[in-house]
Homo-oligomer: A and B are copies of this chain.
Amino acid sequence: MKKVNIGLVGFGTVGQSLLKLFYKNKKLILQKAGCEIIFKSVCEKDHYKKNILQKIDKKISFTPDVNTIINDEYIDIIVELVGGVTVARDIILSSLKKGKHIVTANKAVLSQHWHEIFGLGNELNKMVYFESSVGAGIPLIQSLNEGLAANKIIRIIGILNGTTNYILSTMTTLNVSFKTALKTAQERGYAESNPSMDIEGFDTAHKLSILSSIAYSRWIKPQHIYIEGIENVELDDVKFANNFGYDIKLLGNAAIVKNKFMFEVRKFLVSKKHVFSSVTNEYNAILIEGDFSGPVTFIGRGAGGDTASSAVMSDIIYACKNIVNIVEGRFPYVFYDAKQKVETIKHDEICGYYYLRFITIDRPGVLAKISYILGKFEVSIASVYQQEPVEKIHRGASIIMLTHKIEEKKLLKAINEINKLDIILKKTVHIKILEEKGK
């Protein structure tokens, strides 16, 4: 039976789960891989983790020097779990050059160096698999890349980040502020001590970039994507949205409008009847719509060592099967055309429905002033609601409006003019409303 040697770079939560998974389900994994799999070496800067490794398997060598693994001629597959961009890029490119295949969980490095990584992989006939990079254990990459391969992809939309979903869910269910919810998320391991990649929307953008690059066979860069985060969401908005029958979710959204691409990461009001609304805490949900398949939605844990290791191990099995059959790298896993342009339409050139919250002084005539300006910019209102704020962090009243369909640019002009009124105490909140009520 053929032997495939694995080198593991990065021994954090996912790396440790991976070995735990391997030893627990070894029999079925080897049966499906069709070969003997040997975890030969682990590279990790944190020397303390050597003890953890030795408790799992004393035969696996431990090194703080990644070159030991990259230069090890017996290693067939390098599993890159270090995260970040610069170092990870070096490891992946050097490993490919040394004839290794790659399994990576790293969305940031892929979304930012798509051409370089897959270009080199294809040139050298080496495999680069990355199932865990989006949606962790949800088999999303293979489903999009193979299961839906015959379709033109019409759109991709979803909750791609577990941290922000956890925070927004916590605000809703525990009735707490963003700050408190973030703290809870950090205490439970769902947010990092520096949470900006997640809460500012960059992680969602990286994942949207990867899914879109597969779907459209060209590199969709994070720079193609309009990005906003959830750091300014107030409990007031969560509560008001709830009153109207909506939840607030951070979604990645790729669509084709007027034959151009539109990519955005932003907060949405999602109807409580929509399937995304039932997806709470650290869970992810991604809808991919093909022209023949129709909408297909995938839901699962978007974060956590165990679920990510399930996807990493499936990549290893996939790679092993190809190695055993001596077809590794003969077929590029990801198709892309480096010459294809990415013509985009800006998110604010699109018509949509919006939730608005004006924070005003509590005085007669306020509504008239706001309505006058909205009318001037052709913003038509579907419903209005006025209530005392839930969070007493500013005086005054909140006026909530849901708009009819309007180009966002026009809406922003109106909001800009309204914000200059002396009756406005704080920047007006505007959040897009997801149109679909169904699946």
Contact = CB atoms under 8 A, between A and B. Distances in A.
Nearest to A313: B150
A298 B146 CA distance: 16
Contacts of A280: 438-439
Interface stretch (A26-34, A68-76, A199-207): A26-34
A113 to B, nearest CB: 23
Interface string A314-356: 1001100100110100110001000000000000000000000
Contacts of A273: 278
Nearest to A151: B310
Given A131-B147, A150-B310, A292-B307, A439 B278 contact: yes
A151 B300 contact: no
A148 interface: yes
A122 to B, nearest CB: 13
A413 to B, nearest CB: 36
Given A25-B151, A146-B314, A151-B25, A304 B294 contact: yes
A307 B288 CA distance: 13
Describe A's contact surface by its main secondary structure: mixed
Given A294-B300, A298-B297, A139 B147 contact: yes
Contact of A142 (B147, B297, B311, B327): B147
B278 A307 contact: no
Interface in A1-41: 17, 21-22, 24-25, 28-29, 31-32, 34
A152 B138 CA distance: 15
B290 A279 contact: no
A335 B28 CA distance: 10
A217 interface: yes
Nearest to A22: B150
A119 interface: no
A22, A137, A318, A325 interface centre (most CB from chain B within 10 Å): A137
A293 interface: yes
Given A296-B300, A299-B275, A299-B439, A149 B317 contact: yes
A143 interface: yes
Contacts of A217: 28, 31
Contact of A28 (B138, B152, B279, B439): B152
A29 B146 CA distance: 11
B301 A299 contact: no
10 contacts: A25-B150, A25-B292, A146-B317, A147-B311, A292-B309, A292-B310, A293-B311, A297-B299, A297-B300, A325-B330
Given A146-B314, A294-B301, 16 more contacts: A28-B152, A32-B335, A131-B147, A137-B148, A137-B293, A139-B146, A142-B143, A142-B146, A147-B314, A148-B310, A149-B317, A292-B313, A293-B306, A296-B298, A298-B298, A324-B331
